[in-house]
């Protein structure tokens, strides 16, 4: 039978082992929590609006020279191009002169290569100045992630987590290359399709009369002769 002295020693060893397990497991728990704390590198896309008021003389729909220059200056400083959405905004009042003013501003914008949408409401605050037409430019801006990110310790990889700089190059390059940042928010709508062409393509496929692939070594004249031969009816010379 174990003596009293042996019992005391076993209790001490058991206590020491229990304390060691507690600290060890707590350290592991801390590391487990860090596995899911790494935020992926993502682009931030914001929709912004720039506005400019075009002032007209009372009861007049002609665009003054000074207002043309001001509008040109606004378009230049805002660096408006064809990828931006441009709206001509006015509070409807039922007056014909207002409609003519909208058409005047829209025609001026078209001369600058833009495609304004008229009329549209919802950008004003209900406190527009009298005899004014508001030009609103809408665009999407991309904010790159904070890269490079070397905040993580590259030597501390025992938890098999990705490094803090992981994904920086991909996200940054995409943000700098995208032509229209709105494409990062949602895709574009498909344009109208040629239904008759699609129908005949399916019929040719079902009939086994699909067109062969182009020969990269063939000259344009060779392709034309081949196309003309396919158009000839059976038995033709």
Note the pLDDT of residue 75. 94
Q: Break the chain into its structural domains and give their ranges.
A: 39-187
d(CA 157, CA 150) in angstroms, rounded, equals 14
Residues 52/53/55/60 CA torsion (nearest 10 deg): 110
User: What confidence score (pLDDT) does residue 236 get?
Assistant: 47
The residues, any chain, with a CB within 8 Å of residue 149's CB and separated by 6 or more, are 41, 164, 165, 168
Name the CATH code of domain 39-187 (choices 1.10.1660, 1.10.10, 1.10.3470, 3.30.1330).
3.30.1330
C-alpha–C-alpha distance, residues 168 and 146, integer Å:
8
pLDDT of residue 32: 47
pTM comes to 0.58
CB 119 within 8 A of CB 88: yes
What is the C-alpha to C-alpha distance for residues 69 and 108, in angstroms, rounded to an integer? 11
Q: Residue 102's CB: how many other CB atoms inside 10 A?
A: 21
User: Which pLDDT belongs to residue 82?
Assistant: 83
Q: Give me the pLDDT at residue 237, please.
A: 43
DSSP bridge partners of 196: none
Question: Do the Cβ atoms of 75 and 111 come closer than 8 Å?
Answer: no
Helices (H), the chain: 4-34, 65-77, 96-111, 168-177, 195-206, 220-231
User: Which residues in the chain show pLDDT less than 70?
Assistant: 1-38, 94, 118-128, 220, 222-237
The number of beta carbons lying within 10 Å of the beta carbon of residue 82 is: 10
CB atoms within 10 A of CB 152: 16
109 CB burial (10 A radius; 0-12, 13-18, 19+): buried
The per-residue pLDDT for 128 is 65
What is residue 22's predicted lDDT score, i.e. its pLDDT? 61
Predicted confidence at residue 2, as pLDDT, reads 53
End-to-end Cα spacing for the chain: 116
């Amino acid at each position: 039978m174990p003596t009293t002295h042996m019992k005391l020693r076993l209790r001490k060893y058991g206590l020491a082992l229990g304390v060691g397990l507690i600290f060890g497991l707590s350290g592991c728990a801390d590391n487990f929590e860090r596995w899911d704390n790494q935020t992926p590198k993502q682009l931030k896309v914001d929709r912004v609006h720039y506005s400019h008021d075009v002032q007209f003389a009372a009861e007049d729909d002609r665009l003054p020279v000074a207002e043309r220059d001001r509008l040109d200056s606004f378009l230049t400083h805002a660096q408006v191009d064809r990828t931006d959405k441009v709206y001509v905004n006015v509070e409807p009042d039922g007056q014909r002169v207002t409609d003519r003013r909208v058409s005047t501003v829209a025609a001026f914008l078209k001369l600058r290569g833009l495609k304004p949408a008229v009329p549209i409401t919802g950008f004003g605050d209900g406190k527009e100045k009298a005899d004014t037409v508001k030009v609103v430019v809408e665009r999407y801006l991309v904010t790159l992630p904070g890269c490079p990110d070397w905040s993580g310790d590259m030597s501390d990889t025992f938890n098999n987590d990705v490094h803090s700089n992981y994904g920086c190059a991909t996200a940054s390059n995409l943000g700098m290359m995208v032509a229209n940042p709105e494409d990062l928010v949602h895709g574009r709508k498909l344009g109208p399709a040629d239904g008759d062409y699609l129908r005949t393509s399916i019929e040719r496929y079902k009939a086994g009369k699909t067109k062969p692939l182009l020969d990269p070594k063939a000259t344009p004249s060779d392709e034309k002769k081949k196309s003309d031969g396919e158009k000839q009816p059976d038995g033709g010379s």
